[in-house]
């Protein structure tokens, strides 16, 4: 075990033994989608890390890290004297993180396979060892976000920070010109996340939840972006819809007719230079552990 791993009590994940899957899946398409998503949102990620004070030498957690696109960037920032621990319930994603860390010769990346709502089980010997925990697009999928906060109260050092990027009012996402087939799919996306205990409005509840656990909210802001056909950002909703709309039809949240109507709409809108999408706003929150 490395010195830093000894310090934090974190072992390398045994990624072959167990795998869970979140609502969007863990196949190659989803991994590629997450890669594009990270590319398009990496400046925003860097900004929140800066705001939350991520520095060389720190120990950081990436909660629900997925294939680890953000984890690897954070590892470059904390450098060889620091450490980043990626936690995810997907063994498939953690294996990709491991492969990438090796390919980039980053030796300061650890992986923990587990449920972020059960951090006491996943990281039992790591009390007060973390300087910064980052969670991007994870809280919106969790039935018990309060359990994550409870776990972080234990894991974060006094004065340590939690940085979150997530949604509020997700279903406000709108295509212009407005279209009923689009609105139906967006409503079904929200319904499908809620059906599994998630909350596409999570950022509306997090500040109060964190305050109740004794955290101080240091920073809150919203990022509202607009995508036009032909822009790189257009491919963010495109890659999401091409993965998720078929899943919505398979699981009965929309009909096959709704799916076909949406597909035709998407195709024609993608060719319309006058169309645009108001994307779901992404909210930044930084909270300090007392
Ligand atoms: C939308 S992806 C975001 C991945 C990464 N945070 C990013 O921004 O690129 C959500 C991730 O959260 C993970 N996840 C969902 N619920 C989880 C849970 N209860 N415990 C651990 N990981 C979870 C999924 O496996 C997936 O990797």
What average pLDDT score do residues 152-169 get?
Answer: 98
pLDDT in tens, 98-134: 999 999 999 999 999 999 999 999 999 989 999 999 9
Say which residue the tokens 């996402």 belong to: 173
Question: Three-state DSSP class for 26?
Answer: coil
What's the CA gap between 215 and 153, in Å, rounded? Answer: 8
- Residue 14's pLDDT band (boundaries 50, 70, 90)? very low
Distance 62 CA to ligand 1 centre (A): 10
The atom number, within ligand 1, closest to the CA of 45 reads 8
Q: Whole-model pTM?
A: 0.93
The atom number, within ligand 1, closest to the CA of 20 reads 25
pLDDT of 4 strictly over 60: no
What's the CA gap between 177 and 227, in Å, rounded? Answer: 13
What's the CA gap between 123 and 156, in Å, rounded? Answer: 12
CA angle 90, 92, 97 (to 5 degrees): 95
Say what the pLDDT of residue 8 is.
39
Which H or E run contains 276?
Answer: strand 276-278
Residue 191, in any domain of the structure: no
The atom number, within ligand 1, closest to the CA of 165 reads 8
The set of protein residues with a Cβ atom below 6 angstroms from ligand 1 is: 22, 34, 38, 64-66, 69-70, 88-90, 93, 115-117, 136-138, 141-142
Distance of CA 95 to the CA centre of its chain: 17
Residue 269, in any domain of the structure: no
pLDDT in tens, 56-67: 999 999 999 999
pLDDT of 13 strictly over 50: no
Mutate to test the pocket of ligand 1, among 32, 141, 164, 284 (most ligand atoms within 8 A of CB): 141
Residue 31, in any domain of the structure: yes
pLDDT of 11 strictly over 70: no
Say what the pLDDT of residue 20 is.
59
CATH number for 204: 3.40.50.150
Percent above pLDDT 90 for the chain: 88
pLDDT of 258 strictly over 90: yes
Ligand 1 atom 20, closest CA:
115
Domain that holds residue 110: 3-169+199-224+282-288
Ligand 1 atom 15, closest CA:
22
Q: Which residue has the higher pLDDT, 161 or 31?
A: 161
Say what the pLDDT of residue 18 is.
44
- Report the number of distinct structural domains present in the chain: 1
Residue 180, in any domain of the structure: no
- Residue 246's pLDDT band (boundaries 50, 70, 90)? very high
The atom number, within ligand 1, closest to the CA of 24 reads 1
pLDDT in tens, 171-225: 999 999 999 999 999 999 999 999 999 999 999 999 999 999 999 999 999 999 9
Residue 256, in any domain of the structure: no
What average pLDDT score do residues 13-38 get?
Answer: 72
Residue 38, in any domain of the structure: yes
């Amino acid at each position: 075990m490395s010195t830093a791993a000894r310090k934090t009590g974190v072992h390398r994940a045994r990624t072959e033994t167990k795998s869970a899957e979140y609502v969007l899946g863990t196949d190659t398409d989803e991994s590629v989608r997450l890669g594009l998503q990270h590319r398009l949102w990496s400046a925003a990620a860097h900004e929140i890390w800066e705001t939350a004070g991520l520095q060389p030498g720190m120990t950081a957690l990436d909660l629900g890290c997925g294939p680890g696109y953000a984890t690897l960037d954070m590892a470059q920032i904390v450098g060889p004297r620091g450490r980043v621990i990626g936690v995810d319930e997907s063994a498939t994603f953690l294996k990709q993180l491991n492969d990438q860390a090796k390919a980039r010769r980053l030796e300061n990346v650890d992986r923990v396979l587990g449920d972020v709502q059960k951090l006491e089980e996943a990281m039992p010997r790591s009390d007060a060892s973390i300087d910064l925990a980052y969670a991007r697009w994870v809280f919106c999928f969790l039935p018990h976000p309060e359990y994550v906060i409870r776990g972080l109260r234990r894991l974060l050092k006094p004065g340590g920070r939690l940085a979150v990027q997530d949604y509020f009012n997700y279903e406000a996402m709108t295509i212009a010109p407005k279209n009923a087939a689009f609105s139906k799919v967006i409503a079904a996306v929200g319904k499908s996340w809620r059906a599994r205990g998630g909350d596409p409005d999570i950022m509306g509840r997090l500040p109060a939840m964190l305050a109740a656990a004794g955290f101080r909210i240091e920073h809150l802001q919203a990022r509202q972006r607009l995508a036009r056909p032909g822009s790189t950002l257009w491919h963010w909703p495109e890659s999401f819809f091409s993965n998720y709309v078929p899943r919505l039809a398979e699981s009965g949240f929309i009909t096959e007719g709704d799916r076909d109507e949406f597909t035709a709409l998407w195709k024609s809108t993608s060719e319309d230079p006058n169309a645009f999408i108001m994307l779901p706003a992404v909210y930044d929150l930084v909270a300090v552990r007392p």
